Structure 1
Amino acid sequence: MSEFSDIRAERVSAHVLRITLNRPQLRNALRTQTLAEIATALETAEADSTLRVVVLTGGPTVFAAGADIGELAAHDAVSIQTDSRPKHWAVLRRFAKPIVAAVNGFCLGGGCELAMHADIIVAGEDAKFGQPEINLGIIPGAGGTQRLTWAVGKALAMRMVLTGEMIDARTAVAHGLATEICHPELTLERAQAIAEIIAAKPPLAVRAAKEAVLKSFEAGLEAGLAHERKCFSALFATADFREGVAAFRDKRRAQFQGL
């Protein structure tokens, strides 16, 4: 386990790292230090070829209820321009390996933005998602207006951002923000199971697949299709591709090495 003050980072299996937000007394409010520690843990995971998937959780009762309001209140229109948090968010945005989020309880503001940096969100039945920044006289500032619109569409994103209202887990799944709903006691277990399934797949293909799917949001259809084909062709040169074909023919389980 890697010890931080705001998070816990621990390898929970051969290829999976779990990051747990660890400010329960403040409902896991995200201060700059929290984001810096998450970024550091992800950079370490990126450099470790044996780590293939990250599970991100806030614990059994709350994911993250938002940004640290006390820290935000100390800023003005000038100081916010040199805020260090965008560089930490950029680490999450660039992280190439899959992230599976286990969300219980409140997942609001910066917490919702953090969860939306994950590739798969498993929601507990008690999960509540929202972007309530409008109630503070501001708007989401870490991609919330953009990622939420990608996930749930313009109509619901507008309602959530303009009213500050929360949505429940069933609405989140119905509109594509979360993947599935679990009993709160099983959310982390299910996220871990999904992570293990992904970790057993060929790592280079997994990274390419994540990149290609994200490209569909960042580029037009033609550019996205061209990128997909480029990744598809490049994977034919990998040892994992040859192993996958051999295992299929031999009717055995493939042993992928990330080569």
Structure 2
Amino acid sequence: MGVSTSSPEKGISVVTMDFPPVNALPVQGWYDVADAILAAGRAPGVRCVVLCAADGCRGFSAGVDIKEMQREAASGAGGRSTLLGANRGCYEAFSAVYRCEVPVIAAVGGFCLGGGVGLVGNADAIVASDDATFGLPELDRGALGAATHLSRLVPQHLMRALFYTSRTATAAELRAHGSVWQVVPRPRLRAAALELAREIARKDGYLLRLAKAALNGIDPVDVHRSYRFEQGFTFEANLSGVADRVRDTFAQEDK
């Protein structure tokens, strides 16, 4: 369990998230994802990184581990270390995908929710299974954030409707909007992601790094500043007490 890195082929690194059953990442997990992706991108022989979930997880990611926050609240300590850690960890992990020196492919199977959208929205390409769904249930979880990244996957008005309703969009819908490269049956997901990674990895490694820096430089959205702006409202929701009330309701419904 945790985050691991493998090298199935020359020039390709695969970073795997394994937090069963739903890949809800604890605080340290977000930092581990960030470290693994940045380390893979710095490796001289790597030309493409694939980010995926372990086979034993039901989906790509359910986002932040809400139960970790609940355990801290139930302890009576009154601290906010888990909340602060999750916010900082998410920022670092999302940023790492964007700042990785080489292209990052997100291989998405099953659900991709909350922080999962943050990771995928900053990826360079997305390969998804035909049962993949994407969404931000943040308003139902006492949180905000990652609209920055959802807006990189769907048009502005659809992003807003999805955010307000906590509904999800399918991989087929995202492909229609041009944000998903390929939709394949779930058993074919890893192979399809590696096929795309293999095609990218045939390019010159130095030129790929220049290309990644150039594309980030012309990006119309400053993903770092935009997401940090969103996080400020997440903190306001927590300081006001409304986030705790909503999280408590979610925890009761989840039992």
8 Å contact from structure 1 (residues 63, 104) kept in 2: yes
- Residue of structure 1 in register with 2:171 after alignment: 169
Asked if residue 106 in structure 1 is aligned to residue 72 in structure 2, the reply is no
Partner Cα distance (2:26, 2:150) in 1: 21
Q: Any unmatched runs of 5+ in structure 2?
A: 223-255
Equivalent residue runs for 1:69-80 within 5 Å = 69-73=66-70, 74=72, 79=81, 80=83
**Given the superposition, is the C-alpha separation of residues 65 and 81 from structure 1 closer, same or farther in structure 2, using an over 3 Å criterion?**
closer
Structure number, greater radius of gyration: 1
- Residue of structure 2 in register with 1:49 after alignment: 44
Asked if residue 7 in structure 1 is aligned to residue 3 in structure 2, the reply is yes
Matched residue type, 2:23: N
TM-score between both structures, scaled by the size of structure 1:
0.74
| C-alpha displacement of 1:88 | 4.1
Q: Any unmatched runs of 5+ in structure 1?
A: 221-259
- Residue of structure 1 in register with 2:182 after alignment: 180
How large is the RMSD of aligned CA atoms in angstroms? Answer: 2.2
Spell out, residue by residue over 1:115-139, the C-alpha distance to the aligned partner (whole angstroms, 9 max, x if none): 2221110010000110110112321
Asked if residue 64 in structure 1 is aligned to residue 66 in structure 2, the reply is no
- Residue of structure 1 in register with 2:156 after alignment: 154
Matched residue type, 1:217: D
8 Å contact from structure 2 (residues 4, 36) kept in 1: no
Equivalent pairs counted in the alignment come to: 212
8 Å contact from structure 2 (residues 4, 15) kept in 1: yes
- Residue of structure 2 in register with 1:22 after alignment: 18
**Given the superposition, is the C-alpha separation of residues 103 and 88 from structure 1 closer, same or farther in structure 2, using an over 3 Å criterion?**
closer
Residue identity (%): 29
8 Å contact from structure 2 (residues 41, 49) kept in 1: no
Matched residue type, 1:69: I
SS in 1 for 2:199: helix
**Given the superposition, is the C-alpha separation of residues 84 and 155 from structure 1 closer, same or farther in structure 2, using an over 3 Å criterion?**
closer
- Residue of structure 2 in register with 1:93 after alignment: 98
Task: After superposing the two structures, state which structure 1 stretch, 203-212 or 92-101, moved more.
Answer: 203-212
Asked if residue 35 in structure 1 is aligned to residue 37 in structure 2, the reply is no
| C-alpha displacement of 1:21 | 1.1
SS in 1 for 2:134: strand
| C-alpha displacement of 1:167 | 0.9
TM-score between both structures, scaled by the size of structure 2:
0.75
